[in-house]
Structure 1
Amino acid sequence: MPRVGVSNIRKKQLIEATIAAIHAHGYDDTTMAKIAKRAGMSPGLIAHYFGSKDELLEATMRSLLTDLQALVSQRLAAAGRAPRARLEAIVGANFDESQCARETVSAWLAFWGQVPHVPALGRLQRVYARRLHSNLKREFGRLGVAPQETDYLAEVTASLIDGVWMRAGLSGGGLDTVGARRLVGETIDLHLAARGIARAADDHSDAAERKKRKTA
């Protein structure tokens, strides 16, 4: 196998070992030796591939964010053009089973706890927050929400996603992904209904876009 392929595999193994170590020992007690032992490698390989423990932890958070963004993209592609379905896709990706595995939840919580203290993790968190807000705002706008309110509804929804997710993670009892999607989805519906936008608006907006493309 080419060296690049071996390098990528080993980096992935070290990232997976980091997630497992954080789950088992907590962020502060996760050491290069513990990570290396779980990966079946020497601590020197961590320095070789990542430079330091901090750089490995940053790479691990970036990997989690990359996986989440891939899920969002996949679900949005499957949802089609209807904005309400696309909102469901965004919510669904954040509560996907793969994102809610116990080890993954432990890693997310550990990283969020370090955000105020580690600038590199803070930058990654801001990228995540901006991307989530932008995706939500776009679909609320396409549903006909007034421009001055799209930011507000995007912030409400993002806060609810993060809050439900974090509360479940801290409870230690696991996350009911179906219940979480329902809670956020019904809250979105309530806000839309309060603004005179029913679920039927999604069908109308989708049909209007299809008609526009045909006549273009």
Structure 2
Amino acid sequence: MPKIGMQPLRKQQLINATLESVAQFGLQKTTVVTISKIAGLSSGIISHYFGGKQGLIEATVKYLLEQLKVALLEGMTNPPLTANERLKMIVEANFTQLQRSIPATKTWLSFWAQSMHDPGLARLQNINSKRLYSNLLFSFRQILDEDLAQIASKQTAAMIDGFWLRSALSTKPKEEFKQAQQLCKNFIDEQIKQYGDISCQS
């Protein structure tokens, strides 16, 4: 009989091992065997908990998405925040240490490429994009007119994704990620300064 509480621990072990396997071998060469070896668990447990490699890959991406949400909520534990401060918090949530780590960056890059061919991963990518845009729009609407808020949200989302991608592919990712985060925040300040309500600035 399995010990009480072991299932969540085992699942997280396998998710962590998947991140490490993708970092070492890439998504295509990551298998049930490579994952189970890294996790130090039998390969059968992957089928038991996730139904196979595909289910575990999707669970791993969901974990990274959930960590984005957690980072954002943790940053907003001391309300009230101004709309500007919330926008900056969204940027920071996308550039946390986890999201900048080698296992996470390689998994994200593999995920984006594979999502063009895999309906399940494409659905997760769509959820991710809509969530980022929605979070940005909520705050921009408190500062800008509706049309400008929509445009600024799309531009900021594109900057976050674009700068994150460039940083992940850089030969000096640590420096690039730091600069990318600041450039995204600078863009938000510029939008508010040019078009917004100054009372909403931090």
TM-score in terms of structure 2 length:
0.93
- Post-superposition offset of 1:175: 3.5
Match of 1:167 in 2: 166
Deviation string for 1:72-123 (max 9, x for gaps)?
Answer: 1111233633111111111011111221111111111111111111111111
1:36 aligns with 2:36: yes
Deviation string for 1:44-66 (max 9, x for gaps)?
Answer: 11111111111110111011101
SS in structure 1 of the partner of residue 76 of structure 2 = helix
1:132 aligns with 2:132: yes
User: How far apart, in 2, do the equivalents of 1:68 and 1:85 lie?
Assistant: 17
User: How far apart, in 1, do the equivalents of 2:2 and 2:52 lie?
Assistant: 25
1:119 aligns with 2:92: no
**Which amino acid is 1:90 matched to?**
I
Structure 1 contact 79–86 (Cα < 8 Å) conserved: no
How many residues are aligned here?
201
User: How far apart, in 2, do the equivalents of 1:112 and 1:3 lie?
Assistant: 37
SS in structure 1 of the partner of residue 77 of structure 2 = helix
The within-5 A match list for 1:45-194 is 45-78=45-78, 80-143=80-143, 145-176=144-175, 177-194=177-194
Percent identity between matched residues is 35
Gaps of at least 5 residues in structure 2 are none
User: How far apart, in 1, do the equivalents of 2:13 and 2:77 lie?
Assistant: 29
- Post-superposition offset of 1:194: 2.3
User: How far apart, in 2, do the equivalents of 1:88 and 1:79 lie?
Assistant: 14
Deviation string for 1:156-185 (max 9, x for gaps)?
Answer: 000000000011111243243432221001
Query: Which of the two has higher C-alpha Rg?
Result: 1
Gaps of at least 5 residues in structure 1 are 204-216
User: How far apart, in 2, do the equivalents of 1:42 and 1:172 lie?
Assistant: 36
Structure 1 contact 165–175 (Cα < 8 Å) conserved: no
SS in structure 1 of the partner of residue 158 of structure 2 = helix
Moved runs in structure 1, 4+ residues, more than 6 A? none
Bigger mean CA offset, 89-98 vs 184-193: 184-193
- Post-superposition offset of 1:197: 4.2
Structure 1 contact 102–174 (Cα < 8 Å) conserved: no
- Post-superposition offset of 1:4: 4.9
Bigger mean CA offset, 104-113 vs 1-10: 1-10
**Which amino acid is 1:92 matched to?**
E
